[in-house]
């Protein structure tokens, strides 16, 4: 317990929840579920503060943040080093427009990211959230082809189960029915091709075989729509939002080859899997390829501030470089390259380097996997899988009603066990910040197992 922790006050907590429900429209939520009781109920937690991997509510309860607050937090809440950098930046420059002006944090961040790609992707374009980065990559791809005299390349390809954000352009390359279907009539159709999800392996097939099969389908599509396709967009190694579908790195290598052969851009959406989540800093490094566009967000600011960016090649950059303004990329957002957000990102990159985070995560991941062994071998668990600092498994729930309510029931059970986990359908996943110590790991694993057994026992 910390001495600045407010004293437990359940009346104040209830009050905050009631005020929130009256005035805040919460994201990705059927608001009525917050008002219900029973298996459809979804508690709303009033958070008072965070420390390290833990969130504390206004009633004095604590929760280990097993999903890094929607995959954004890398080095814990209230991280002293990121806090110090932001306090320093706050007294220098909070914001200045990035059109016609520049500043130290955005320049240094762009340089450092370029170095991390060995200058393969040496040009950074900034926005604030992930969906905007996807919009930028799609627009840039189309416009680069247009500037190169190939304006017929207007179509995009995404994968079955893909997720690239909620704005209309990003949603058009998203294949998650729950998010997409209501807006179907508003969306420009994209080609949806076979996912290399390794769970789709037929008898005797390896993950690499599944990747080859998926790539063959992509090849057929690229041949069929020859000259029409601008870009293929992929979530490298893990399609997170559809339920942590993982694939063999071979797929990325094959996509890169196909894109080269058919003159199509490759867009790597590393918004969720970038920043060390896959085990390397960029997930594409597992396949030794660079895309034409790489989207980053979520973890890049350490989970502090909205920041996203698209990194691209000299070739794309040169396609826009001209005396004619209309050939430029005339896209902007008010907070593009915000200095505070960039400074948080620089502090995040500094922690990666100073603490040798990728190496230490290898050891941390081994400890977490060992602690989760009882779940990996559980008779009601299928497809226990891991990529870097992401663990996932699918619950075997046969009753339709129990399956429908599994996620919300598990979420509630986990909260009772001092753990924040929000399954996607029947897929339970863990995506913790890179700061768990042995005690946190033991707690996370035990609470996950207990929550799982409680949720399954209710069915
Ligand atoms: C979260 C996510 C996005 C969207 O990012 P937002 O900041 O929520 O707009 C896009 N792509 C992937 C792979 C994501 O995980």
The Å distance, Cα 233 to ligand 1 centre, comes to: 13
Question: Ligand 1, from 127, 129, 130: best to mutate by most atoms within 8 Å of Cβ?
Answer: 130
With vertex at residue 169, the alpha carbon angle to CA 166 and CA 170, rounded to the nearest 5 degrees, is 45
Q: Ligand 1, closest atom to CA 166?
A: 9
Residue 1 has pLDDT above 60, yes or no: no
How many CB atoms sit inside 10 A of residue 422's CB? 16
Q: Which residues on neighbouring strands pair with residue 239, listed in sequence order?
A: 245
**Contact present, 153 and 142 (Cβ < 8 Å):** yes
Question: Ligand 1, from 133, 161, 164: best to mutate by most atoms within 8 Å of Cβ?
Answer: 164
Lookup: tokens for 278 = 């896959």
Distances (CA, A) of 161 to 192, 224, 239, 321: 9, 22, 7, 36
Provide the mean pLDDT of the chain. Answer: 96
User: Which tens digit of pLDDT belongs to each residue from 126-162?
Assistant: 999 999 999 999 999 999 999 999 999 999 999 999 9
What's 421's DSSP letter? Answer: -
User: Which tens digit of pLDDT belongs to each residue from 305-352?
Assistant: 999 999 999 999 999 999 999 999 999 999 999 999 999 999 999 999
Q: Ligand 1, closest atom to CA 165?
A: 4
Provide the pLDDT for residue 8.
55
Q: Whose CA is nearest to atom 6 of ligand 1?
A: 130
The Å distance, Cα 122 to ligand 1 centre, comes to: 22
Per-residue pLDDT, averaged over 368-380, amounts to 98
Specify the pTM: 0.97
Question: Ligand 1, from 69, 131, 243: best to mutate by most atoms within 8 Å of Cβ?
Answer: 131
Q: Whose CA is nearest to atom 10 of ligand 1?
A: 164
Q: Please report which confidence band the pLDDT of residue 7 belongs to, taking 50, 70 and 90 as the band edges.
A: low
Cα–Cα distance for residue pair 409/63, rounded to 1 Å: 16
Question: Ligand 1, from 71, 297, 341: best to mutate by most atoms within 8 Å of Cβ?
Answer: 297
**Contact present, 250 and 212 (Cβ < 8 Å):** yes
Q: State the Rg of the chain over Cα.
A: 22
The Å distance, Cα 238 to ligand 1 centre, comes to: 13
User: Which tens digit of pLDDT belongs to each residue from 67-89?
Assistant: 999 999 999 999 999 999 999 99
Lookup: tokens for 97 = 């427009």
Lookup: tokens for 433 = 């910040």
Cα–Cα distance for residue pair 436/429, rounded to 1 Å: 16
Q: Whose CA is nearest to atom 7 of ligand 1?
A: 130
H or E stretch covering 157? strand 155-159
Cα–Cα distance for residue pair 216/238, rounded to 1 Å: 20
% of the chain with per-residue pLDDT over 70: 98
Residue 4 has pLDDT above 70, yes or no: no
Per-residue pLDDT, averaged over 214-218, amounts to 98
CA-closest candidate to residue 132, choices 96, 182, 177, 168: 168
With vertex at residue 61, the alpha carbon angle to CA 57 and CA 67, rounded to the nearest 5 degrees, is 70
User: Which tens digit of pLDDT belongs to each residue from 229-280?
Assistant: 999 999 999 999 999 999 999 999 999 999 999 999 999 999 999 999 999 9
Q: Whose CA is nearest to atom 8 of ligand 1?
A: 130
231 phi and psi angles, rounded to 5 deg: -155, 155
Provide the pLDDT for residue 3.
45
Cα–Cα distance for residue pair 34/45, rounded to 1 Å: 10
Annotate 258-298 with DSSP letters as a single string: HHHHHT-EEEEE-TTTTTTTTSSSSGGGGGT---SEEEE-G
Q: Which residues on neighbouring strands pair with residue 158, listed in sequence order?
A: 192
The Å distance, Cα 438 to ligand 1 centre, comes to: 30
Q: Find the residues whose C-beta lies inside 6 A of ligand 1.
A: 129-131, 134, 163-165, 235, 240-241, 269, 271-272, 297-298
The Å distance, Cα 417 to ligand 1 centre, comes to: 28
Cα–Cα distance for residue pair 317/370, rounded to 1 Å: 46
**Contact present, 420 and 66 (Cβ < 8 Å):** yes
The Å distance, Cα 162 to ligand 1 centre, comes to: 11
The Å distance, Cα 297 to ligand 1 centre, comes to: 7
Q: Ligand 1, closest atom to CA 240?
A: 15
Residue 222 has pLDDT above 60, yes or no: yes
The Å distance, Cα 108 to ligand 1 centre, comes to: 24
Residue 2 has pLDDT above 90, yes or no: no
Question: Ligand 1, from 67, 71, 127, 165: best to mutate by most atoms within 8 Å of Cβ?
Answer: 165
Provide the pLDDT for residue 109.
98
The Å distance, Cα 379 to ligand 1 centre, comes to: 33
Residue 43 has pLDDT above 90, yes or no: no
Instruction: Provide the CA 235 distance to its chain's centre, in angstroms.
Output: 9
**Contact present, 124 and 311 (Cβ < 8 Å):** yes
The Å distance, Cα 274 to ligand 1 centre, comes to: 11
Q: Ligand 1, closest atom to CA 269?
A: 13
Q: Ligand 1, closest atom to CA 272?
A: 15
């Amino acid at each position: 317990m910390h001495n600045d922790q407010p004293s437990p006050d359940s009346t104040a907590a209830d009050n905050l929840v009631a005020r929130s429900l009256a005035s805040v429209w919460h994201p990705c939520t059927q608001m009525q579920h917050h008002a219900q009781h029973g298996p459809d109920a979804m508690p709303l937690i009033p958070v008072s503060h965070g420390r390290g991997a833990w969130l504390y509510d206004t009633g004095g309860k604590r929760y280990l943040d097993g999903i890094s607050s929607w995959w954004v937090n890398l080095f814990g809440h209230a991280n002293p080093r990121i806090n110090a950098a932001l306090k320093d930046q706050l007294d220098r420059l909070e914001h200045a427009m990035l059109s016609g002006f520049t500043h130290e944090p955005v320049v240094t961040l762009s340089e450092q990211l370029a170095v991390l790609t060995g200058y393969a992707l040496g040009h950074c374009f900034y926005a604030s959230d992930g969906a905007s980065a996807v919009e930028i990559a799609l627009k840039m791809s189309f416009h680069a082809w247009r500037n190169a005299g190939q304006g017929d390349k207007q179509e995009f390809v995404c994968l079955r189960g893909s997720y690239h954000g909620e704005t209309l352009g990003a949603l058009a390359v998203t294949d998650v029915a729950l998010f997409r279907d209501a807006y179907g009539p508003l969306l420009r159709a994209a080609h949806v091709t076979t996912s290399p999800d390794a769970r789709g392996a037929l008898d005797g097939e390896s993950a690499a075989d599944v990747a080859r099969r998926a790539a063959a389908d992509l090849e057929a599509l690229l041949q069929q729509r020859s000259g029409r396709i601008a870009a293929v967009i992929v979530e490298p190694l893990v399609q997170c939002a559809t339920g942590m579908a993982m694939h063999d790195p071979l797929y990325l290598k094959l996509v890169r080859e196909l894109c080269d052969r058919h003159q199509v851009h490759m867009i790597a959406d590393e918004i969720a899997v970038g920043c060390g989540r896959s085990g390397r800093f960029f997930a594409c490094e597992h396949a030794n390829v660079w895309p034409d566009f790489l989207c980053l967000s979520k973890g890049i600011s350490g989970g502090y501030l909205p920041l996203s960016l698209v990194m691209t090649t000299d070739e794309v950059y040169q396609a826009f470089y001209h005396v004619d303004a209309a050939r430029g990329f005339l896209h902007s957002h008010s907070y593009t390259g915000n200095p505070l957000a960039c400074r948080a990102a620089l502090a995040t990159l500094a922690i990666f380097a100073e603490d040798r985070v990728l190496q230490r995560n290898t050891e941390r991941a081994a400890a977490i996997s060992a602690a989760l062994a009882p779940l990996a071998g559980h008779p009601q668990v299928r497809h226990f899988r891991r990529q870097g600092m992401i663990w996932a498994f699918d619950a075997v729930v046969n009753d339709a009603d129990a399956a429908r309510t599994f996620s919300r029931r598990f979420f509630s059970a986990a909260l009772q066990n001092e753990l924040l986990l929000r399954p996607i359908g029947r897929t339970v996943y863990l995506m913790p910040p890179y700061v768990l110590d042995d005690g946190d790991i033991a707690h996370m694993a035990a609470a996950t197992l207990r929550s799982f057994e409680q949720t399954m026992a209710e069915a």
